[in-house]
């Protein structure tokens, strides 16, 4: 049996979400927030139908499909920030098999670059205090 080794330092392709990613983005949103497809689909459809003040980046898997996403918006204010506007991480998810392999960090880096490109100097997010995985990701 042959196993392909994963290079923890190899960059995964990160790009803006596309309409063809609808099903995969929906799958990951359901993993992150729960709920139903009927609850998330209008948000996804609206993202592609209207001009956005934010962006969603995705991790592309080499074998096809997606492995994570980050949704970033611009807000006038975020707790703890001293400037306005600020970039705000609305949602951040990485499939379990890609966690601890830099996919999450690469998504945050893409969000930071997007924010800088839009003249924003601070980025914020929130997390549930009982979510130890999220706390570790935010502090790693």
**For residue 5, is it within any domain?**
no
pTM equals 0.83
Long-range Cβ contact pairs of 2-9 (< 8 A, separation 24 or more): 6/101, 8/101, 8/102, 9/102
**Quick one: pLDDT at residue 114?**
93
**For residue 4, is it within any domain?**
no
Per the model's pLDDT, the better-predicted residue between 8 and 94 turns out to be 94
**For residue 125, is it within any domain?**
yes
1 has a pLDDT exceeding 60: no
**Quick one: pLDDT at residue 97?**
92
**For residue 131, is it within any domain?**
yes
pLDDT tens per residue across span 12-48: 899 999 999 999 999 999 999 999 999 999 999 999 9
pLDDT tens per residue across span 50-94: 888 899 999 999 889 999 999 999 887 688 788 888 899 999 999
pLDDT tens per residue across span 126-136: 765 554 544 44
**Quick one: pLDDT at residue 111?**
95
Cα-flanking dihedrals φ and ψ of residue 9, to 5°? -100, -5
- Nearest-angstrom CA–CA distance, 39 and 16: 22
- Nearest-angstrom CA–CA distance, 12 and 36: 29
Residues β-bridged to residue 136 = none
**Structural domain range at position 96:** 14-139
pLDDT tens per residue across span 96-139: 999 988 899 999 999 999 999 999 998 888 765 554 544 444 44
- Nearest-angstrom CA–CA distance, 6 and 20: 27
**Quick one: pLDDT at residue 7?**
44
DSSP string computed for 70-137: EEEEEES--TT--SSSEEEEEEEEE-GGGTTTTHHHHHHHHHHHHHHHTT---EEE---TT-HHHHHH
- For the chain, the distance separating the N- and C-terminal CA atoms, rounded to the nearest angstrom, is 35
Count how many domains the chain has.
Answer: 1
**For residue 101, is it within any domain?**
yes
**For residue 9, is it within any domain?**
no
**Domain containing 70 — which CATH number?**
3.40.630.30
- Name the pLDDT band for 4 (thresholds 50, 70, 90): very low
């Amino acid at each position: 049996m042959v196993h392909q080794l994963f290079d923890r330092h190899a960059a995964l392709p990160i790009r803006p979400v596309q309409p063809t990613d609808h099903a995969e983005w929906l799958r990951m949103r359901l993993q992150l927030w729960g709920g139903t497809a009927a609850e998330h689909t209008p948000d996804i459809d609206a993202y592609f139908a209207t001009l956005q003040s934010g962006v969603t980046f995705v991790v592309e898997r080499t074998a096809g499909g997606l492995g994570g996403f980050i949704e970033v918006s611009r807000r006038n204010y975020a707790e703890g920030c001293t400037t306005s506007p600020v970039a705000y991480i609305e949602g951040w998810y990485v499939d379990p098999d890609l966690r601890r392999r830099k996919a999450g960090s690469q998504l945050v880096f893409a969000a930071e670059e997007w924010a800088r490109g839009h003249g924003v100097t601070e980025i914020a997010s929130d997390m549930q205090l009982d979510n130890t995985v999220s706390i570790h990701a935010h502090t790693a």
